[in-house]
Each structure stands twice: as C-alpha cells, then as structure tokens.
Amino acid sequence: MKTSIATVSLSGSLTEKLAAIQAAGYDGIEIFEQDFIAFDGAPRDVGRMVRDHGLEITLFQPFRDFEGLPEPYRTKAFDRAMRKFDLMAELGTDLVLFCSSCHPRALGGIDRAADDFAALGERAAKRGMRVGYEALAWGKHVDDHRDAWEIVRRANHPNIGLILDSFHTLGRGIDPETIRRIPGDKIFFVQLADAPKIDMDLLYWSRHFRNMPGEGDLPVTDFMRAVMATGYSGPISLEIFNDQFRGGSTTGVARDGYRSLIALMDDVRRAEPSLALDLDPIPARVPTQGVAFVEFATRGDEARALERQLATLGFARAGSHVNKAVTLWQQGDIRIVVNEETEGHAGASYNARGTTVCDIGLSVTDAAATVARARALGTEAFSQATGPGELDIPAIRGNSGSVLHFIDPASGLDRVWEVEFGATARPTGAGLTRIDHLAQTMSYEDMLGWTLFYTSLFEMRKSPMVDVFDPDGLVRSQVVEAPDGALRVTLNGADSHRTLAGRFLSDSFGASVQHIALATDDIFATCETLAGQGFEPLVMPQNYYDDLAARFDIAPELLARMQALNILYDADERGTYFQCYSRAFAGGLFFEIVERAPAYVGFGAPNAPFRIAAQKRASRAKGIPAR
Ligand code: MG
Ligand code: MG
C-alpha cells in the first residue's frame, strides 16, 4: 500500500517539503500547481526533483469547474484540461483530480456531467492520462460521493474514475458504509483528512481546520474500512489544510502525517481481519501500567534545591547509581531520578534547558514490542552506551527531543532499581503512593502532534480540548489517558509568552513536563506531615475559599482545614478532588499533591486560574519575573 501526502499540507519551500516527505517515509506526493508557480524551474525539473527524492507524483490537483457547463464555457473547460494534460506529461504523472463544479453557470444534470466526462475520457486516453472525479462537500450540484459515483458509472470510460476524500464524505455526515457499494477498481485515489467537531461553514472548516487521521473527531477508520472492503489498492494520501501546520515544523508535520497513516491502516487491518490487505503487520497499541520513573537533568546548586524539594515532599534517597552521578528518590511507587551527568542525553538536556525532566519511564507489558510499534510509526529508537552492570532498557525519542524508556516485568527490566541503584527498600514517607498525572507544556502548534504521539502508540484516549484562562492569555488543555487511569498526561498548549505556561515554554526551549501530580489516599494526613518537615505549599487566598463556599456545599470545619493547609477542591457528579501545589522551583516546575475519589475523572480545571494567579503572586513576592 503506497502512502502519499499533498504538498499543501506542509510549510516551507518545495525543496524543504520534498526533503521532509522523503525523510518521513512516504512513497509519493500530490502536487499542486501553486507549488511550482513559486518554484524557479520548469515542470520537467520539478518532476525530476521529486523522483530524485525517491518519490513519485501520485496525483496532480486540482482542476476546478469542468462539468455541466453551457457553451462557450464548455469548450474552454476542455481546452484548459488539454493544457493540464500537457503539464502532467512534463511533470511525469498520469492522474489528475477534478473536483465537482462550483461554477455559477454549471447546469447540473447527472447525464450531462457523465457525457462531459465520457468525452474527456476519450481525450485523456489518447494521452495516457486518467481523471478522478471528487465530490466537494460544497459543490454546486454534486456534493456527495454517491452522486459523483453515479456520474463516473454513467460516463463508463476506463480513464474516468472516482476520488474519495474522507473530509468531504464525513464532514457532511454521509454514511461511509455507502462506499462499500462502489467497485474498488473504479476508485482511482483516496484522500484522507480528519477534523475537530466544530459547527461552522464547510468550506472554511475544510480550508483551515483539517488535521491528521486520529487528531480530530471524524470516523476516519470507518471510512477507510469501507474503502478497503471495495478492494481498492491505490495510494492513501493525506490532504490537510490546516493553519497551524502551514506555520509549523515541516519535518514534524510530515512525520506526524506518516504516523497517522500507519496507525490508521493498522486499525483498519485489526477491524477487518477477513480482508487480505497489503500491509506489514505491526504490534498492537501498548497498554501502560503507569509511570515507572521521572528523571530530572540537573546540576550543582539546582540539584541540591531539587533534592531539598523532594525531601520536604517526603521522598527518601533510595539508592545511587553504580557508575553515574545519578540518584534515586522514592516514596511509595513514585521514583524520581536525579541525574547530574554532564555527558549523554541528560547532560545535553541540562545544557539546553537548565533543570528539566529529560526522561520519562513507563511501565508496559512488553518493552520490546513498544519500541517495535513506535519504530513502525516512524519514531526514532533511542540508545546510549551502557556501562558495566547496567541493563539495556528499550527507549525511543518522543517529540521535542524528549526520551521515553519502557520497563516491563517479563524481561526483568523492572529489576533496574536493585541492579543499578542497589535500592531495595520502599519508603512510605508522607503517604504519596503513585504518579496521578504528568502535565506537559508545549506551544499550541505542537499539541496535535503530541496527542497523536500518545494515542497512536499506547492504549490511550484523548479528551476534548478545553480552554484554561491565565490572567495574561489563554492556554488550551487536553488530556490523554489510559482507560483505567494508570497513565494520565495533560497537554497544555500556550500561544502567549505572557501566560505562565508560555513563559515556562520560552525559558525551557520547547515542550516539557511542567508539573508532576502525586497521589495520596489522605491529603490532609499527607499535608500535615509535610508541613512538619518544611514543605512550603502554594498559598491560596481567602477569596478562593470564599468562592468555594459559594460554589459547593462544604462543611465549615472541612473548609477551615483546607484553608489551613492550602488545599484546593473540585467535585463533579461522580466524586471529589483535593489538590495542593508546591511552590515553583527551577524556572517554573512544580509538584502537585492530589487525592482523587476513584470516579472523579477531571484534573481540577476550575481551579487552574486561581492556581496560576497565586503562582504569579508568589513569584512577584520573591522579586523575580512572573513565570
Ligand atoms: Mg480532496
Ligand atoms: Mg495538575
């Protein structure tokens, strides 16, 4: 099965796009005329350049406003088509997309359109060209693939076929099951795009908000299952118009697209086991059992400050690495690794960002299979030389230069703490038991890519995006989580450097973990213990508790206890959530302590504006710029 992407999906010059498309692993491209209008070279040179990158031109597009026209427009449309066939011959491609007409003079009539395509098919055949007809969701007379198919069927010409586009079918709410009635050999090409569910004008939605399959809310898998059931064997191609992608990283968006296609086709293969698909099987999405460790790259005074922070949170130093300047801090099932190495990934991360989370370890059932799936999805494996007595733990590079390690019990990799750190005890400290969630901050442009990263590799689902109000701007937040809540990650996208998240981002040079939430079964007992050992919570103001008293029915004694310990509160119909934040350290990192009633599914989002305002107040009080 060939993979392809439309050049309009990416930012940059044609040369940059081709390099990124080749590097991501695609077989071909859909080319738009505007791509080489700006390019200083003849169409023949463009074609050669594409092939020099090991790519083929799978489709030339678009040709607009062809069918159903009265004279003299009809003759002009045919003349225009002949010139495009000449251009295609120079480029070295034989397939062109004709989209359904939006011409104000188009007459309509299935047979009139079919006659036009039959006549066009004759001329195309003489030049060895094929024409695919696509129903635009906003076409004047044809806006449904079923009508486009009827036109192609009646045109009855071997050089005339149908082009399906998941956006045009699903965006109009047309049942994709209707595709199963179309013979696969009459489908010349398939374009794929997803989109977030937003109620807006179809054309505007299509031109600005399309995204990669799996990044939006449309049932693209159902669409593709129906396509593959027809026996279709042509390319699958991404055609994504998205404002963020047009301004985003060329290589990053190309890689995300490839990842989305491979994950989609794997889902199709699993959902339609009786179809013999031309696909290499890849390991299934990986269930995760939670965060095995969080590793900080740090050094010197900053390392001592981090260790003091950990000690006041009830962590104990549980071991030191056999070969490296790395220590393990533990409490319950939470492991924090403090890495002061000046070489390798940790050293490089510290040099680039200062104290930062440089590595996340996840517990999985099969670490090797996790890396195998990640690699099939176009993710780079990560490895570093191992010293004597060290285990070789499988790892990958995540987005934005991050690293993830995978630990499983089957291969004995979960013995790493004992083997490399000599750690045998399991300190209980102040009652913190496990990591409830990790919060990653990134620029808004990077959010979709991170969501796809998690949901394509792991058994995780995404929640709808919500807005969090920082006094200085907006932060968008999305949750990805394992079905049982064993792993929860909140992704926060900042688009203003004045927001707390935005400042953290500009100071840390790219996406990274900004806060780590630690779970306790009794937040009052934990916070009282911590208060006795010097833990400094983020101080919440009186008006926060006044607001709580107004919004919830909380007993006055409980409210007083919460206020005394700076504990925040939220509740939904399923349960309650208590939170307490640490002061920020090392450029805006912080910890959160949470007690979650099992059924409560949120993250205290209503409290975020209060928390952000309190953090900004705290940093102003310390005389340092708000972070
Ligand atoms: Mg299309
Ligand atoms: Mg949180």
For range 377-383, the mean pLDDT = 93
Does residue 624 carry a pLDDT above 70? no
CB 313 within 8 A of CB 409: no
Nearest ligand to residue 435 Cα = 2
The CATH number of the domain holding residue 31 is 3.20.20.150
User: Do 489 and 414 share a structural domain?
Assistant: no
User: Do 294 and 258 share a structural domain?
Assistant: no
Domain count, the chain: 3
What per-residue confidence (pLDDT) applies to 626? 43
User: Do 474 and 399 share a structural domain?
Assistant: no
Nearest ligand to residue 592 Cα = 2
User: Do 117 and 265 share a structural domain?
Assistant: yes
Ligand 1 centroid to 261 CA: how many Å?
16
For range 5-10, the mean pLDDT = 95
The CATH number of the domain holding residue 520 is 3.10.180.10
User: Do 446 and 489 share a structural domain?
Assistant: yes
Task: Classify residue 340: in a domain, yes or no.
Answer: yes
**Strand locations in 495-612 (E):** 512-520, 568-572, 575-581, 590-596
Two tokens at 79? Answer: 């003349």
Ligand 2 centroid to 180 CA: how many Å?
45
Nearest ligand to residue 63 Cα = 1
Domain boundary among 421, 453, 485: 421
Does residue 146 carry a pLDDT above 70? yes
3-state secondary structure 73-109: HHHHHHHHHHHHHHHHHHHCCCEEEEECCCCCCCCCC
* Domain coverage including residue 585: 432-621
Task: Classify residue 179: in a domain, yes or no.
Answer: yes
Ligand 2 centroid to 592 CA: how many Å?
6
What per-residue confidence (pLDDT) applies to 33? 81
Angstrom CA distances, 430 to 145, 307, 316, 336, stand at: 62, 16, 10, 15
pLDDT in tens, 99-135: 999 999 999 999 999 999 999 999 999 999 999 999 9
pTM assigned to the model: 0.93
Nearest ligand to residue 169 Cα = 1
Q: How many residues does the chain have?
A: 627
Ligand 1 centroid to 520 CA: how many Å?
51
Ligand 2 centroid to 526 CA: how many Å?
17
For range 74-95, the mean pLDDT = 97
For range 540-562, the mean pLDDT = 95
Domain boundary among 215, 240, 271: 271
What per-residue confidence (pLDDT) applies to 276? 86
Ligand 1 centroid to 373 CA: how many Å?
30
Does residue 311 carry a pLDDT above 70? yes
What per-residue confidence (pLDDT) applies to 39? 81
Report the C-alpha gap between 21 and 18 in whole angstroms. Answer: 5
Of 11-25, 318-332, 599-613, which range is least confident?
599-613
From the list 209, 172, 213, the residue with the least C-alpha distance to 192 is: 213
User: Do 331 and 246 share a structural domain?
Assistant: no
Nearest ligand to residue 608 Cα = 2
Ligand 2 centroid to 439 CA: how many Å?
6
